[in-house]
Amino acid sequence: MANANLQAFIAQIMKDSSLQDQLKDLTDKAQFTQTMLSLGKSKGLTFTAQDVEATLFQAKINPLEELSDADLSLVAGGARPRATSDGCGGAWTTLFGWC
């Protein structure tokens, strides 16, 4: 079962554009997790990195770890993968589905 504090924090993120802005451009999984921990703590909600990993990353495909053949071709040619070409962080788009 997911940590109740993490679930409460995710609900806050969905309603608070300032929290969204602090997370949306993060593309590194470890940095995203640490930012989640820090922001949650600032809101009085404590949870662990393992909670974040289990809730947000284990059931999702991380675009930072797996690129399609089309994305690999784009990257080889110097373009950015589609997951981040709209200015939104890959982790954000994968986890929350929008920017």
The answer on pLDDT for 46 being more than 60 is yes
The whole-angstrom separation of Cα 82 and Cα 80 is 6
When pLDDT is averaged across residues 80-96 and rounded to a whole number, the result is: 50
Containing domain of residue 9, as a range? Answer: 4-96
* Between residues 88 and 33, the one the model is more confident about: 33
| Residue in 49, 43, 47 with CA at minimum distance from that of residue 30 | 49
CA atoms within 13 A on the CB side of 92: 21
Number of domains in the chain: 1
pLDDT, residue 36, reads 94
Q: What percent of the chain has pLDDT over 90?
A: 30
Token match 């949870």: residue? 47
Helices 29-42 + 4-15 axis angle, to 10 = 90
